[in-house]
């Protein structure tokens, strides 16, 4: 549960818009080929099925709040032509800055976790 | 809906979980490849394990027809075992495994690349070496501890007639370069085990 300002034990559904914005921001990062689902497999499949059914589409980035800590978790496929550590650093900085701006308090701490789950050649290579 | 309470949409409740790659059989993924990955299946494309499996299947496919035809001519009962072993390796590889951390100066940022992603990378770079097909790979050591010594083992099949020493040298160089570029692992050794050969009457497709 959360209080009126959205603090406390965060739930995934509270950050649908932010998750979607972060997903789009991540897609624009150089070296990120795709954003993968950061959620457990079954939840991800259910969410995708829901989206296909016309229900509201969630972002692939996971956003949760616990007290003053806003946690952002993302999984990506990176381009093998660029060094993955640099790509992930760029991605994390974009997420941190974007989530920080969206946060409702300057006291909030934003913790970002980005994992490369696939490193593959970009299409056409 | 599938009509089965425990099965997410699109998944077969009769298939054992350990036979699946993120809810899909390798046959499903092969069929998806056959269709040119169209129409785009978001559940497959957003799954790291499925994408790694697709990539590996694509790489194996180009070679396996030629290899299997040659091997079938030489030893008729062998093709099933050969391909089954390779498929088992691919299925084992796409499970994410350990997270391999990457450094970042901001303590609020945590970066990692999964062991599965690295194995997929090793398969990619290994298969690009002429006359080599990577059967499996392994990372020995504490990959979750920055700076810990790591040894890499690649088990490969090569084209008959290639000098094993040259193959090993080319593979070591390719692996070292890829790991240096995409991870911060301290690689102390790259072991190459050539455990099979194929006859090279047909050109690689």
The DSSP-derived string for chain A is -B-TTS-BB--GGGGHHHHHHHHHHHHTSTTEEEEEP-S-HHHHHHHHHHHHTTSPPPPSSEEEEETTEEEEEEEEEEETTS-HHHHHHHHHHHHHHHHHHHSS-TT-EEEEEEEEEEEEPPTT-
Give the range among A9-13, B126-130, B140-144 with minimum mean pLDDT: A9-13
The highest-level CATH class for domain A12-120 is alpha beta
Upstream peptide bond of B39 is cis (omega within 30 degrees of 0): yes
- Examine the pLDDT at A112 and tell me if it is beyond 90: yes
Q: How far apart are CA B104 and CA A110, in angstroms?
A: 15
Q: Which of the residues B182, B183, B184 would you substitute to probe the A interface, choosing the one with the greatest number of A C-beta atoms within 10 Å?
A: B182
**More confidently predicted of B170 and B84:** B170
pTM above 0.90, yes or no: no
Looking only at the bridges linking them, the beta strands covering B99-102 and A109-120 are unpaired
The reported pLDDT for the residue numbered A78 is 95
The pLDDT > 90 percentage for chain A reads: 43
- Examine the pLDDT at B64 and tell me if it is beyond 70: no
Helix axes B26-34, B78-93, angle to 10 degrees: 100
Please name the member of A75, A85, A111 whose beta carbon is closest to the beta carbon of B102.
A85
The reported pLDDT for the residue numbered A79 is 96
Q: How far apart are CA B72 and CA A86, in angstroms?
A: 46
Cα B40-A52-A16 angle, rounded to 5 deg: 110
Q: What is the pLDDT of residues B141-159, one digit of tens each?
A: 999 998 899 999 999 989 8
Q: Using DSSP, state whether B149 is helix, strand or coil.
A: strand
**More confidently predicted of A5 and B182:** B182
Contact across the interface for B181 and A116, Cβ inside 8 Å: no
The reported pLDDT for the residue numbered A98 is 93
Contact across the interface for A111 and B106, Cβ inside 8 Å: no
Q: What is the pLDDT of residues A16-57, one digit of tens each?
A: 889 999 999 999 999 999 898 776 544 444 444 444 443 334
Q: Taking a C-beta distance cutoff of 8 angstroms, is the pair A27, A35 a contact?
A: yes
- Examine the pLDDT at B3 and tell me if it is beyond 50: no
Tell me how close the Cα of B75 comes to any Cα of chain A, in angstroms.
35
How does residue B5 score in pLDDT terms, banded at 50, 70 and 90?
Answer: very low
Domain borders along chain B are: 45-198
What is the phi/psi pair of residue A9, to 5°?
-80, 105
The highest-level CATH class for domain B45-198 is alpha beta
Contact across the interface for B109 and A121, Cβ inside 8 Å: no
Contact across the interface for B42 and A36, Cβ inside 8 Å: no
Q: Identify all chain B residues contacting A121, using CB atoms and an 8 Å cutoff.
A: 124
Contact across the interface for A116 and B22, Cβ inside 8 Å: no
Q: Taking a C-beta distance cutoff of 8 angstroms, is the pair B40, B88 a contact?
A: no
How does residue B16 score in pLDDT terms, banded at 50, 70 and 90?
Answer: low
Tell me how close the Cα of A108 comes to any Cα of chain B, in angstroms.
12
The reported pLDDT for the residue numbered A7 is 39
Please name the member of B23, B46, B109 whose beta carbon is closest to the beta carbon of A112.
B109
Residues 129-188 of B with CB under 8 A from A: 181-184
Please name the member of A45, A80, A119 whose beta carbon is closest to the beta carbon of B23.
A45
Q: Identify all chain B residues contacting A114, using CB atoms and an 8 Å cutoff.
A: 109-112
**Nearest Cα to B154, choosing from B141, B137, B140?**
B137
B104/A contact by beta carbon, under 8 A: yes
Domain borders along chain A are: 12-120
> ipTM above 0.95?
no
The reported pLDDT for the residue numbered B62 is 60
Across the A/B interface, how many CB contacts are shorter than 8 Å? 125
How does residue B54 score in pLDDT terms, banded at 50, 70 and 90?
Answer: confident
Q: Identify all chain B residues contacting A80, using CB atoms and an 8 Å cutoff.
A: 121, 124, 182
The reported pLDDT for the residue numbered B151 is 96
Q: Rank B5-14, B54-63, B65-74, B190-199 by mean pLDDT and report only the highest.
A: B190-199
What is the distance in angstroms between the CA of the first residue and the CA of the last residue of chain A? 48
Query: Least CA distance to A118: which residue of chain B?
Result: B117
Q: Rank B26-30, B61-65, B192-196 by mean pLDDT and report only the highest.
A: B192-196
The reported pLDDT for the residue numbered B174 is 96
Q: Identify all chain A residues contacting B182, using CB atoms and an 8 Å cutoff.
A: 78, 80, 83-85, 116, 119
Average pLDDT of every residue of chain B: 79
Query: Least CA distance to A60: which residue of chain B?
Result: B46
Average pLDDT over residues A87-98: 97
Tell me how close the Cα of B80 comes to any Cα of chain A, in angstroms.
28
């Amino acid at each position: 549960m959360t209080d009126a300002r959205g603090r406390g034990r965060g739930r995934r559904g509270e950050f649908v818009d932010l998750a979607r914005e972060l997903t789009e921001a991540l897609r624009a990062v150089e070296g990120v080929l795709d954003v993968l689902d950061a959620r457990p497999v079954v939840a991800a499949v259910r969410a995708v099925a829901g989206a296909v059914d016309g229900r509201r589409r969630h972002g692939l980035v996971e956003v949760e709040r616990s007290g003053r800590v806003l946690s952002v978790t993302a999984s990506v496929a990176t381009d093998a032509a660029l060094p993955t550590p640099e790509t992930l650093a760029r991605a994390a900085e974009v997420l941190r800055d974007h989530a920080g701006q969206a946060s409702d308090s300057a006291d909030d701490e934003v913790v970002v976790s980005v994992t490369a789950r696939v490193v593959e050649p970009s299409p056409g290579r | 809906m599938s009509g089965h309470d425990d099965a997410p949409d699109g998944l077969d409740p009769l298939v054992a979980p350990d036979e699946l790659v993120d809810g899909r059989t390798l046959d499903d993924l092969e069929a998806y490849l056959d269709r040119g990955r169209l129409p785009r299946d978001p559940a497959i494309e957003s799954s790291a394990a499925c994408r790694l499996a697709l990539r590996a299947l694509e790489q194996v496919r180009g070679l396996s027809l030629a290899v299997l035809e040659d091997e079938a001519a030489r030893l008729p009962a062998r093709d099933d075992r050969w391909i089954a072993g390779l498929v088992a390796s691919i299925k084992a590889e796409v499970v994410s495994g350990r997270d391999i951390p990457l450094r970042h100066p901001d303590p609020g940022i945590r970066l990692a690349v999964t062991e599965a992603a690295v194995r997929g990378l090793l398969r990619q770079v290994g298969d690009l070496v002429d006359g080599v097909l990577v059967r499996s790979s392994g990372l020995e050591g504490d990959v979750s501890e920055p700076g810990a010594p790591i040894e890499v083992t690649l088990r490969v099949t090569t084209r008959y007639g290639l000098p094993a020493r040259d193959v090993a040298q080319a593979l070591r160089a390719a692996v070292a370069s890829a790991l240096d570029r995409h991870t911060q692992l301290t690689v102390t050794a790259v072991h190459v085990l050539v455990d099979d050969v194929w006859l090279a009457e047909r050109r690689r497709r």
